[in-house]
Structure 1
Amino acid sequence: MERILLAGNYPNLAALELINFEQKKVFHYFTDNSVFRHIFQSQITDLVLHNNDEYFKKMRLDIYTRNVYLHIFSLFKNLKHLTTVSASLSDYPYFLLCNLPPTTCYSSSLTVLCINVYEFQDCLCLLDGRLKQLSTFIVQIHYIFNMKSINLNKGELHNLKCFSLTSYDLIMNYDDLVVPLFRRMTHLEKLTLYFRILHRNAFVDGTHLQNEILAHMPQLHTFTFYISTQEVIFSSFPRKSNSDIERTFTNIRYGQTACIIDSFNGDHKAICHVYSLPFTFTRLETITTHFPFIVFDTVTILSAYDMIPMQHEFFMRISQAFPMLNQSLKCDEWKSDKNSSYSIIEYPHLMSLDVMYADIDYIAQFLLETKTHLPRLTQLKVDYYQLKTVTMNFTRDTIRRNCSKINRLIVKVPTVFSKDVYQYFPSL
């Protein structure tokens, strides 16, 4: 970028997209002393950052926010569109705003914002009036939970026309926290929702969505969604079928919908997945062995969970039902059926595999070349001691092929790898 921008004058330059953006580039380019300050301050209206910094649990997000996000809001005076996306398989550091002064990140020009925030409070802060012209807000929220009480503007959002909310973590206060936000969006025209609800005493269905959310958005014309309600105990209310849930969507005028009720734990609990058609999202969480065989050709990230032994046929169904699976496959608390009858299953696009909490036999199921072929696997999350057992102290030849391209090995407890590990994983 430096060579290009210094090579000449660009009076019409208004948009800037940075690949592999990192915090250190802020200190070099996005300060008042930057040689490009005049371009950034007066010309750039559209900024897209492919953030290559990686979030980790003990990270000081308040410091990162001050060092990165606040510099951007301060320097780019005429910014209208700001988009931040991840440049890798990992999440980039979240925007943490709720503990900062209310004048922070003020902008009278920003109309489009796409960003990941740490908690629900940060989302509310960005909608408290400091971004007066905001018309499109695309936000991914890391955690949605009970928050401390602070004084925020909770009036109607008259300028907001397009809103997208994504949260992959389970939400336990959906009715108290999330629903009131939607009711402020009285002029919304396009709504996209992806979230998962835990411990609610009833499934989210079409009746709830219409009465509690959509009825408050008279100008809405596009509604795209995936919502799951998880771990509902059937004894607390009448059991409902797929057809029962689907009938509640009959009067919703935003297109076709579908419902899947997936039971587990001896049918005492269930997950109800409701979503608009066609399914457009890239992530699907917590499917079980009861999940019907339906092709989801947009899903690249998948997690599976069950307490009963998995049959080899289920792994085959996953590979067929999710043909574009590439970023991550996560398997939790699986127990092996020790079935020795199998054919080789291929996941041709899968780059990341998470078997950190899976039964040891399923680690072998995925890594043995006689059972599974993973030609593009580059990241593995696994318990180190189970990996050591499965690989026979990193000597088992029938696992080497699927491990040959792994350049990132993530284990539960930080470990200094031995020479044998590096020889077994030559791409580390």
Structure 2
Amino acid sequence: MNQCNVDFFGLPHEILLHILKKLDNISVLYSLFGVINKRCDSLLQDNIFTNTLNLLTNSANDNSAPVVDRILDRFCIDILPRIHYSVKHLILESMSMGRILLTGTFPNLTHLNVFNFGQHIALNYFTDQSIFRHIFKHQITELILENCDQDIETILLGEYTENVYAPILAFFENLTHLSIVESSSITEYPPLSICDLPSTTFFSSTLKKLCINVESINDCFHLLDGRLQQLTTLIVQIGFIDNDSPIVHNTNDLPNLKCFSLICYEQTDAYDSQVIPILRRMTYLEKLTLYIRIHNRFTFVDGTNIHKNILIYMPRLHTFSFYIDTEILFNDSVHHLFDNDIQQTFTNIGYNQIACSVNCCLNYRAICHVFSLPFIFNRLEKINNRFPNVMFNDVTYLMVADAIPFKYEFFIRIAKAFPSLKYFSIINLTSPSGDFNSNAADNIDSRSYIEYLNLASLDVNYVDDYYIEQFLLDTKTHAPRLTEIKVHFDRLQTVTENFTRDTTRYNCRNIKRLIFEKIMNYPKELYLYFPSLVD
């Protein structure tokens, strides 16, 4: 080429689009808008920029409020008024939602995601009195809400369902997909509670996919009583499953339901009486996801049990992802039971991609963890020294517990096996090194530190002081995002040598929240040692 300067807009249209597709869509819009060039205007109308607009990411990643406001101003004044008619999918933050929607009529908008959703949004936007009803009422077919109403202890769940969830389903007349999700894997939003409400509450003749948290297994039964006639996919996280059910539920088959996911993090003793009956109705199911923790049972739930009680009733099932742990009283039979014995029961029914761990746990009990691979869930509890040697890439919440000490090598395995770990809870009152001695740890231990690059919250309320030290010593642990610790004040005081110990000071510099077992007047040394604490 003799010409050293090539005009970017002189390139063929197809090549320009190929280049721009590799970039962030919003960044491209922001950079190119205002360029006096007809080809630029033509490019900006292309579907790769207008099909989906994520007006959340840029502001969420920018710590400077004035900069964020200027960017939003630019979009609302210069960009959105010119492309609003082509936008099909909007991803919005609730605070700027109204401002953005006022920039146009959005006649082709069908998919809406709202972050930091609260009941104030439902009451102000999703009603016939809203100035945006022309956009929402008839156009929206897919609605995804990230609910941030998290003070569930003060919220009356029945009222919340009547005031928020039920009106949403009634307002969006053509809604086929409704997902209400929580803001993180540890916090919970108010669950749907319809047990004591009329059967016409939370009713829809168009909804095909529902993803929502419910208060109890009874709410799940009610969702399947016929009020959602077209439902093909139901994804529920259940607060608790118990045997207290005076209502006789519908036992008819569910011919439309093709995909079902049930997750319950709380232990239940009602697996046989409540979970199995609801699954046996799903004879047309093609995909099943099950996360359940069982206790007060005489035997472990294995492949034979799953096949006899559930899978045999689902002849069309082609995908089964699961995590099941069963906790039983320790007995002689457990002595003679090995991981391979449980695993073989799944191999016998054609499930080879599984992992299993049979262990003794606290309080004279035994526990069996069995799950499909890869592990797709974000939470795992009560694992001990003998957890399977697999990767748990999606797990963000982990609780480990054992009467046998956790050695340094155990935490190395944890860091490698759980790369996304954010919330870590440890229960172990036995130290692997005998009596706690901070001076010995400062001067003797020379092993390289362990990295927990995503760890944000640490619960060490029920541990020997050794494990508190394990995470605070900068020679042992590197956790750059750790901002919260749940710990007994006296033990923290001991490990930090009354908030003077230099080797634990570095890992305390970013802690914004300390959660103690009681409220008291804390010494000023504490606040000096933890300079980032937020009141």
Paired residues for 1:133-212 under 5 Å: 133-212=230-309
Equivalent position to 1:77, from 173, 197, 216: 173
Instruction: State the alpha-carbon separation in 1 of the partners of residues 194 and 381 from structure 2.
Output: 28
Is 2:424 the counterpart of 1:329?
A: yes
- Residue 532 (structure 2) aligns with: 426
Query: Given residue 241 of structure 1, which amino acid in structure 2 is its aligned partner?
Result: F
2:355 to 252, 258, 262: 258
| Residue number in structure 2 paired with 1:240 | 337
Question: If each structure's helix is expressed as a fraction of its own residues, which one has the higher value?
Answer: 2
Q: 2:450 aligns with which of 345, 352, 368?
A: 345
Larger CA deviation: 86-95 vs 338-347: 338-347
Compared CA separation, residues 54 and 417, structure 1 to 2 (3 A): farther
2:328 to 227, 231, 238: 231
Structure of greater relative contact order (alpha carbons < 8 Å, 6+ residues apart):
1
**SS of 1:152's equivalent?**
coil
Deviation at 1:336, TM superposition (A): 2.2
Q: 1:351 to 1:8 in 2, by over 3 A?
A: same
Is there any run of 5+ residues in structure 2 with no aligned partner, and where?
1-96, 435-440
Distance in 2, Cα, partners of 1:415 & 1:62: 37
CA distance in 1, matches of 2:515, 2:220: 31
Determine the C-alpha separation between the residues in 2 that align with 1:306 and 1:67. Answer: 45
Tell me, yes or no, if the aligned pair for 1:285 and 1:303 is still in contact at 8 Å: yes
Match of 2:135 in 1: 39
C-alpha contact 1:82 1:114 (8 A) present in aligned 2: yes
SS state at 2:211 partner: strand
How many Å separate the matches in 2 of 1:354 and 1:172? 27
1:400–1:36: structure 2 CA closer, same or farther, 3 Å change rule?
A: farther
User: Which residue in 1 is equivalent to 2:103?
Assistant: 7
**Structure 2 CA distance, aligned partners of 1:99 and 1:392?**
55
Aligned to 2:265, what secondary structure does the other structure show? Answer: strand
Which has the higher Rg, Structure 1 or Structure 2?
2
CA contact (8 A) 2:355 2:388 kept: no
Query: Equivalent residue of 1:91, what SS?
Result: coil
Report the CA distance between 1:228 and its aligned residue.
1.0
1: distance between equivalents of 2:291 and 2:111?
29
Query: Counterparts of 2:487 and 2:125 in 1: how far apart (Å)?
Result: 39
Q: Deviations over 1:293-345 (max 9, x none)?
A: 433333222110012332222222212222332x2111124322346464322
Please tell me whether the aligned partners of residues 201 and 236 of structure 1 are also in contact (alpha carbons under 8 angstroms): no
Q: Deviations over 1:327-371 (max 9, x none)?
A: 211112432234646432221221221223333332222222232
Q: Partner of 2:122 in structure 1?
A: 26
- Counterpart code for 2:462: Y
Moved more, 368-377 or 154-163: 368-377
Name the residue aligned to 1:92.
Answer: 189
Q: Contact 1:136 / 1:163 at 8 angstroms: preserved in 2?
A: yes
Cα deviations across residues 7-53 of structure 1 (Å, max 9, x unaligned)? Answer: 11122111100112122222322233211123221111100011222
2:209: which partner in 1?
Answer: 112
What is the distance in 2 between the residues matched to 1:311 and 1:283? 23
Q: TM-score scaled by structure 2? A: 0.74
Q: Does the 8 Å CA contact 1:246/1:258 hold for their aligned counterparts?
A: yes
> Gaps spanning 5+ residues in structure 1: where?
none
Q: Distance in 1 between matches of 2:182 and 2:349?
A: 34
Counterpart in the other structure of 2:314: 217
CA distance in 1, matches of 2:343, 2:492: 44
Q: What SS class does the counterpart of residue 168 from structure 1 fall into? A: coil
Amino acid at match of 1:411: F
Shift of 1:392: 4.3
- CA shift in 2, pair 1:58/1:28, >3 Å: closer
Moved more, 46-55 or 177-186: 46-55
Q: Structure 1 residues 205, 24: CA separation in 2 closer, same or farther (over 3 Å shift)? A: same
Q: Distance in 2 between matches of 1:70 and 1:286?
A: 37
Contact 1:203 1:232 in 2 (8 A): no
1:309 aligns to what? 405
Question: Which amino acid is the alignment partner of residue 68 of structure 1?
Answer: V
8 A Cα contact 1:303 1:330, kept in partner: yes
Partner of 2:483: 378
Shift of the 150–381 alpha-carbon distance from structure 1 to 2, 3 Å rule, reads same
* Structure 2 letter corresponding to 1:375: P
> Structure 2 CA distance, aligned partners of 1:22 and 1:111?
24
Alpha-carbon distance, 1:105 to partner: 0.2
State how far apart, in whole Å, the 1-side matches of 2:156 and 2:512 are: 26
Instruction: Give the Cα–Cα distance (whole angstroms) in 1 for the partners of residues 126 and 329 of structure 2.
Output: 49
Q: Per the alignment, in what secondary structure is the counterpart of residue 130 of structure 2?
A: coil
Measured in 1, the distance between the counterparts of 2:233 and 2:429 equals 41
- The number of residues matched between the two structures is 426
> What does the per-residue CA deviation read over 1:360-390, in whole Å, with 9 as the maximum and x for residues that have no partner?
3322222222322211112322334433443
CA–CA separation in structure 2 for the residues paired with 1:328 and 1:194: 19
| Distance in 1 of aligned mates of 2:497 and 2:275 | 49
Between the aligned residues of both structures, percent identity stands at 50
After TM superposition, the structure 1 stretch with the greater mean CA deviation from structure 2, 183-192 or 66-75, is 66-75
Residues 132 and 269 (structure 1), Cα distance of their counterparts in 2 relative to 1, 3 Å cut: same
> How much does 1:237 deviate?
7.0
Name the aligned partner's letter for residue 132 of structure 2. F
Give the distance between the partners of 1:408 and 1:338, measured in 2 at CA. 29
Change (3 A) 1:297 1:7: closer
* Partner amino acid, structure 1, of 2:223: L
Which structure has more strand as a fraction of its residues? Answer: 1
Q: CA deviation at 1:265?
A: 4.8
- The TM-score with structure 1 as length reference comes to 0.91
- What amino acid is aligned across from residue 381 of structure 1 in structure 2? K
Structure 2 residue matching 1:304: 3-state secondary structure: strand
- Match 1:283 to one of 373, 379, 383: 379
| Inter-CA distance 193–415: structure 2 relative to 1 (3 Å threshold) | farther
- Whether the aligned pair in 1 keeps the contact of 2:357 and 2:386 (CA below 8 Å) is no
